[in-house]
Amino acid sequence: MPDLEKFRAETRAWLEANCPESMRQPARSSEEYYWGGRNGKFASEDQKIWFERMLEKRWIAPHWPSEYGGGGLSKDENKILLEEMRRLGCRPPHTNFGITMLGPVLLKYGSEEQKREHIPKILRGEIRWCQGYSEPGAGSDLAGLSCKAEPDGDDYIINGQKIWTSYAEKADWIFNLVRTDTTVQKQKGISFVLIDMATPGVSTRPIKLISGNSPFCETFFDNVRVPKSNLLGKENEGWTYAKYLLSHEREMISGIGDQGVTKTLGELAVERIGKQDGKLADSVLRPEIAKLEMNALAFQLTVERAKDQAKAGQGLGDVASMFKYYGTELNKNRHELIISVAGMEGLVWEGEEYNEGYTARTWLRTKGNSIEGGTSEIQLNVIAKRVLGLPS
Amino acid sequence: MALVLNEEQNLLQQTARSFVQGKAPVEALRKLRDERDETGFSRELWKEMTDLGWAGVAVPEEYGGFELGYVGLGLILEECGRMLTASPLVSTVLLGATAVALGGSEEQKNSILPAIIGGEQILTLALDETPHHAPTKISMTAEKSAEGFVLNGKKEFVMDGHVADKFIVAARTSGKSGEEKGISLFLVDADNPGVAAERLSMVDSRNAAKVTFKNVKVSSGALLGELDKGFPLLEKVMDIGRIGLAAEMLGMAQEAFQRTLEYLKERKQFGVLIGSFQALQHRAVVMFCEIELCKSMVLKALSAIDEKDEKNLPILASATKAKMGETLKLVSNEAIQMFAGIGMTDEHEIGFFLKRARVAQQIFGDQSYHLDRFASLNGY
């Protein structure tokens, strides 16, 4: 495939010429990514340059259709671009749940008007999105949600509460699951609504996590008036769209361990613990690390195989749930081992010398990986039912 | 190569599946065991398999092979694994033909490969001397003589050892046990005076033998590859063997899992199907995921052989053998537990999978061996 090889060479050259050096270092916190939004600020001049160059190149969402501002790349080209970005260590130029979560749903189920309205704003970083899914009473049982939308003329009036809304206090719009029918089976009375968070009646409150950080919020809706034109797809069919989005979210979370990994666990261990007789000095930790790296390799190859099979038109089944389950358990395990390798240093909470407890805080944060986007147990249920066909 | 089978490979797999399931199901292995068959496999079946061209699948065309590569051979091994089919496919083709094709002189290749492809010769690798795989721990000697070499020593657990026509023997021409240097490979005919094979009865009802070599004289033309420098060749043959064996194990794991899953959907207790219990569902899904991971590794490793990816082959071979071993251990144990009482009976076939699983795990190194090697290859 000479065309693809040419594309790879050009891509590599362009990235090398255009990605600032500091944007090739792994980000140490979510603030080091550019999230866009009405109040979005660039953390550095390099970040701004990187974002603007990628925007101009139309590589903010490289594989989205070009008519809405995407890059229009084929799957193969997109894969090459991502590979080349990873090779150089390029950070994503723009992180936004509008890109990773809402975008695919909007492109598939949104009206032409909605696509033209929202997608360019997402790409240009003008609007930062957040996700209104979980509720205090609807976690694993997501379809049991009760935040309600009642019709009032051309509008809906929304009342209720969402929880675990990531970065809601910084977001401009929320894609929100609401109940529009209480008389039918729970999955059949849900709608998917897009809400401007500047609308009167929307408020948020951050939740402090065990990591000491507050990436999640509670979001409250108190008689919030939303035009019916903000309904995505059809009323009461939101569960279909919600599940489609979840599969993208799960895929995103499953790849979470890939970010900012510059050293292998084995290298890190040798650096911290040293060797004896040519082998890692901790003879109990050594096979544990080997097992983790073996599984990580197997997992990475399976992601590759799923992509290759999808390209060849042969599905692997409900891969999103499998990847979500396996990838997050793997990442939790990896961070447990990082803590073991780092010893007491890995458990420091504050202090500049210790990167403000980055190792410990990251480890604590990973505990949420197998909870958010559907717990590991929910993924196992989904696979048991949909893939293995086991009876309920 | 993309990690997906092409049309030709799909067809080969289908052919292999219907052949093996029709001609050599698990029942056939039971029959060989119960009748205490002297050969340990069916020669008629082997004839049919070689007639299908299976012994030449991975052999270059110039020596009469079909160049479908190791991905092709892996698919056949996988299907044989599903039915626990006993045949000299691993000893003769995966190991024997590979060793000769990689390390043989033109003369050796021209005389041996066509004989393997035609099903006329059974070859095997006589390597380990202890109950654990330890390819450098070789004490067996080959001393230079006027006509060639004189071999003395003992080999343990040689696959198909009592029926092999020819052995590929790893012996020491210099150095001492534990060293890589000083190991040389020799082609030794079974009817050579001084060669004696004693058949062992193994838990998996497959062939293994203790082979002794007492003052066995071979010509200098029996040397396979370079003198004293046989280890790199041996290691490559073993890596290919490990990956091929992992393909067989993948077939076993899939079949044992599929049978268990079907049982969960038909066995009733407390008035409901036991497959409706979450405790069993989650364990079934864990097995499913592990098997999916193994499929990717086996396919990637087989492709790496065909692509001559020398750099990654050792790491991939160890990772694949270790991962496959771990998964097969899990699946074979869970299968017995989920079949429960009936799974403990000799009458039920699931026990055969457990027994073959453990032997296959040991051959060419178990999980401990390969995790250790994987760590060392990765620098820790």
Contacts of residue A128, defined as CB under 8 A and 6 or more positions apart, other chains included, come to A35, A36, A37, A38, A40, A96, A97, A98, A167, A170, A171, A172, A173
Q: Are both B220 and B242 inside the same structural domain?
A: no
Q: What's the CA gap between B295 and B300, in Å, rounded?
A: 8
Instruction: Decide if A171 touches B, using CB distance below 8 A.
Output: no
Task: Count CB-CB contacts under 10 A for residue A274.
Answer: 10
- In chain B, whose CA is at the least distance from the CA of A386? B285
Interhelix angle B43-51/B7-23, rounded to 10 degrees, is: 160
Of A267, A312, A388, Cβ closest to residue B379: A267
Instruction: Decide if B18 touches A, using CB distance below 8 A.
Output: no
Residues of B in contact with A299 (CB under 8 A): 293
Whether A197 contacts A168, CB under 8 Å? yes
Instruction: Decide if B284 touches A, using CB distance below 8 A.
Output: yes
Residues spanned by the domain of B213:
124-228
pLDDT in tens, A136-173: 999 989 999 999 999 999 999 999 999 999 999 999 99
Question: What local confidence, expressed as pLDDT, does residue B1 receive?
Answer: 77
Say yes or no for a CB contact (<8 Å) between B319 and A297: yes
pLDDT values of chain A reduced to their tens digit, one per residue, 392 residues: 578 899 999 999 999 999 999 999 878 777 789 999 999 999 999 999 999 999 999 999 999 999 999 999 998 899 899 889 988 989 999 999 999 999 999 999 999 999 999 999 999 999 999 999 999 999 989 999 999 999 999 999 999 999 999 999 999 999 999 999 999 999 999 999 999 999 999 999 999 999 998 889 999 999 999 999 999 999 999 999 999 998 888 877 776 555 555 678 999 999 999 999 999 999 999 999 999 999 999 999 999 999 888 878 776 667 889 999 999 999 999 999 999 999 999 999 999 999 899 999 999 999 999 999 899 999 999 999 999 999 99
Task: Give the SS3 label for residue B22.
Answer: helix
Residues of B in contact with A270 (CB under 8 A): 379-380
Buried b / exposed e over B140-161, threshold 16 CB at 10 Å, is bebeeeeebbbbbbebbbbbbb
Q: Are both B140 and B270 inside the same structural domain?
A: no
B55 in a structural domain: yes
Question: What local confidence, expressed as pLDDT, does residue A317 receive?
Answer: 63
B2 in a structural domain: no
Q: Are both B11 and B104 inside the same structural domain?
A: yes
Q: Which of B209, B228, B247 is the last residue of a domain?
A: B228
How far from A151 is each of A36, A188, A241, A366, B342, CA to CA, in Å?
32, 17, 20, 40, 60
Question: What local confidence, expressed as pLDDT, does residue A1 receive?
Answer: 58
Question: What local confidence, expressed as pLDDT, does residue B194 receive?
Answer: 98
Of A290, A301, A387, Cβ closest to residue B297: A301
Q: Are both B95 and B137 inside the same structural domain?
A: no
Instruction: Decide if B380 touches A, using CB distance below 8 A.
Output: yes
Number of Cβ pairs < 8 A linking chain A and chain B: 123
Q: Are both B255 and B367 inside the same structural domain?
A: yes
Residues of B in contact with A266 (CB under 8 A): 375, 378-380
Q: Are both B241 and B360 inside the same structural domain?
A: yes
Say yes or no for a CB contact (<8 Å) between B379 and A322: no
Backbone angles phi, psi at A386, to 5 degrees: -85, -30
Question: What is the CATH number for B108?
Answer: 1.10.540.10
Instruction: Decide if A299 touches B, using CB distance below 8 A.
Output: yes
Question: What local confidence, expressed as pLDDT, does residue B320 receive?
Answer: 98
Q: Are both B239 and B354 inside the same structural domain?
A: yes
Residues of A in contact with B285 (CB under 8 A): 325, 380, 383-384, 387-388
Instruction: Decide if B138 touches A, using CB distance below 8 A.
Output: no
Q: Which of B121, B136, B154 is the last residue of a domain?
A: B121
Say yes or no for a CB contact (<8 Å) between A311 and B4: yes
Instruction: Decide if A310 touches B, using CB distance below 8 A.
Output: no
- In chain B, whose CA is at the least distance from the CA of A268? B380
Q: Which of B65, B90, B121 is the last residue of a domain?
A: B121
Closest approach of A375 to chain B, Cα-based (Å): 13
Question: What is the CATH number for B248?
Answer: 1.20.140.10
Closest approach of B313 to chain A, Cα-based (Å): 14
Contacts of residue B12, defined as CB under 8 A and 6 or more positions apart, other chains included, come to B57, B68, B72, B75, B76
Whether B123 contacts B104, CB under 8 Å? no
Question: Amino acid identity, residue A333?
Answer: N
Q: Are both B210 and B299 inside the same structural domain?
A: no
Say yes or no for a CB contact (<8 Å) between A298 and B276: no
B1 in a structural domain: no
Percentage of residues in chain A having pLDDT higher than 90: 83
Q: Are both B265 and B359 inside the same structural domain?
A: yes
Question: What is the CATH number for B179?
Answer: 2.40.110.10
Number of domains in chain B: 3
Of A294, A302, A392, Cβ closest to residue B374: A294
Backbone angles phi, psi at A372, to 5 degrees: -65, 150
Task: Give the SS3 label for residue A166.
Answer: strand
Q: Are both B246 and B371 inside the same structural domain?
A: yes
Element (H, E) at B215: strand B207-219
Q: Are both B265 and B368 inside the same structural domain?
A: yes
Q: Are both B15 and B72 inside the same structural domain?
A: yes
Helices (H), B178-311: 231-264, 278-306
Of B285, B296, B372, Cβ closest to residue A302: B296
Question: What local confidence, expressed as pLDDT, does residue A258 receive?
Answer: 55
Domains of chain A as residue ranges with CATH: 2-95 (no CATH), 129-236 (2.40.110.10), 255-387 (1.20.140.10)
Q: Which residues of chain B have pLDDT under 70?
A: none
Question: What local confidence, expressed as pLDDT, does residue A309 receive?
Answer: 87
Q: What's the CA gap between B278 and B262, in Å, rounded?
A: 16
Instruction: Decide if A312 touches B, using CB distance below 8 A.
Output: yes
B53 in a structural domain: yes
